[in-house]
Amino acid sequence: MTAKIIDGKEFAARVRAKVAQHVSRLKQDHGIIPGLAVVLVGEDPASQVYVRSKGKMTVEVGMKSVEHRLDVETSEADLLALLDQLNNDPEIHGILVQLPLPKHLNEDLIINSISPAKDVDGFHISNVGLLGTGQKSMVPCTPLGCLMMLRDHHGSISGMDAVVIGRSNIVGKPMAQLLLNDSATVTIAHSRTKDLADVVRRADIVVAAVGRPEMVPGDWIKEGATVIDVGINRLDAPEKGEGKTRLVGDVHFASCAERAGAITPVPGGVGPMTIACLLANTVTACCRANGLAEPEGLTA
Ligand code: NDP
């Protein structure tokens, strides 16, 4: 079998177009412009790139983008004061604090100080609890993007065997919860899992969120399974020239694509869906804040 490639770039563009359409309707019918505030503390180069592209895409879909770039030495009290101000700003519907934070700041305290209704990353403990009990919540962007692609490809995933490799709070656990909420039979694998190959071989759906380059080989994949590769790993690529690098996922793409029914590539798979889902969450948060109907197909 040769797998269908699930094109995350194209899918993300469709999600953004849907968001833009809804934003335009909110403006026209209600005079409301959804606003997203992104807070970056320090100068981590990767975080700066993410924040820049988040801001650019927020504006592209017609929303208001506010960026707060704070000094690396910003105190916890000052950051909490800014969050309080944003929590109370009626023009801001989504707040995202770019992680990781500098070590002197308590990440849990900061995240849990964002109003849950504006927590567009879905990391606030209230949103984690709501998702865990199958209630309406803000859903973490990367797993939401994976779920959208799975629903699009399969229609329903009810009754399917799914394995999530990785149990982080930002990807693995919420991903498993979303699959469970859609009635898949879910196994969560991690670094202590015995005979991972055997566990993965039983799965109709494999979501790899490990952070280990090309760790999952093709012969772990059940014939026809759907493979969602969340991993983003940068490897040296001397064949492309001195100092050059290339991105690979957590699955070995070529061999997995030979057995899978469908697979997401890296780059161009899950990655582009993450920011698209951040925008989707912001428009959802804005609708909820104003007591308006939520756009269909943009949330879990
Ligand atoms: P974490 O490092 O927080 O979690 C990794 C998980 O993988 C842990 O649960 C760990 O298990 C598990 N693991 C490690 N080694 C093995 C192994 N040999 N066998 C089985 N499980 C193992 O990573 P994240 O969840 O934050 O990210 C995972 C990947 O996804 C990374 O490559 C990251 O860059 C990427 N990512 C991509 C995003 C996107 O937009 N596409 C967004 C976020 C992340 P244990 O708990 O036992 O240690």
Asked if the structure places residue 236 within a domain, the reply is: yes
C-alpha 255/C-alpha 244 separation (Å) is 24
On whether both 150 and 48 belong to a single domain, the answer is: no
On whether both 148 and 215 belong to a single domain, the answer is: yes
Considering only CA atoms, which residue is closest to atom 35 of ligand 1?
Answer: 231
Q: Which domain holds residue 220?
A: 141-271
Q: What is the whole-number distance in angstroms between the Cα of residue 249 and the centre of ligand 1?
A: 11
Question: What is the best residue among 15, 107, 121, 232 to mutate for testing ligand 1's pocket, by most ligand atoms within 8 Å of CB?
Answer: 232
Contact partners, residue 141, CB within 8 Å, separation at least 6:
120, 121, 122, 273, 274, 275, 277, 278, 281
- DSSP label of 15: H
- Predicted confidence pLDDT, tens digits, the chain (300 residues): 689 999 999 999 999 999 999 999 999 999 999 999 999 999 999 999 999 999 999 999 999 999 999 999 999 999 999 999 999 999 999 999 999 999 999 999 999 999 999 999 999 999 999 999 999 999 999 999 999 999 999 999 999 999 999 999 999 999 999 999 999 999 999 999 999 999 999 999 999 999 999 999 999 999 999 999 999 999 999 999 999 999 999 999 999 999 999 999 999 999 999 999 999 999 999 999 999 999 999 999
Residue reference for tokens 């939520």: 294
Asked if the structure places residue 237 within a domain, the reply is: yes
| CA-closest candidate to residue 228, choices 194, 198, 247, 203 | 203
On whether both 145 and 267 belong to a single domain, the answer is: yes
Considering only CA atoms, which residue is closest to atom 3 of ligand 1?
Answer: 168
For residue 140, whether the previous peptide bond is cis, meaning omega lies within 30 degrees of 0, is: no
Q: Which residues pair with 235 in a beta bridge?
A: 246
Asked if the structure places residue 37 within a domain, the reply is: yes
| CA-closest candidate to residue 289, choices 38, 15, 92 | 92
Cα-based angle 162, 167, 169 (whole degrees, multiple of 5): 120
Question: What is the best residue among 141, 191, 196, 206 to mutate for testing ligand 1's pocket, by most ligand atoms within 8 Å of CB?
Answer: 191
Considering only CA atoms, which residue is closest to atom 47 of ligand 1?
Answer: 191
On whether both 48 and 84 belong to a single domain, the answer is: yes
- Catalogue the active-site residues: 54, 98, 121
Residue reference for tokens 């959802």: 284
Element (H, E) at 4: strand 4-5
Q: What is the pTM of this model?
A: 0.98
Asked if the structure places residue 102 within a domain, the reply is: yes
Q: What is the whole-number distance in angstroms between the Cα of residue 300 and the centre of ligand 1?
A: 22
Contact partners, residue 28, CB within 8 Å, separation at least 6:
none
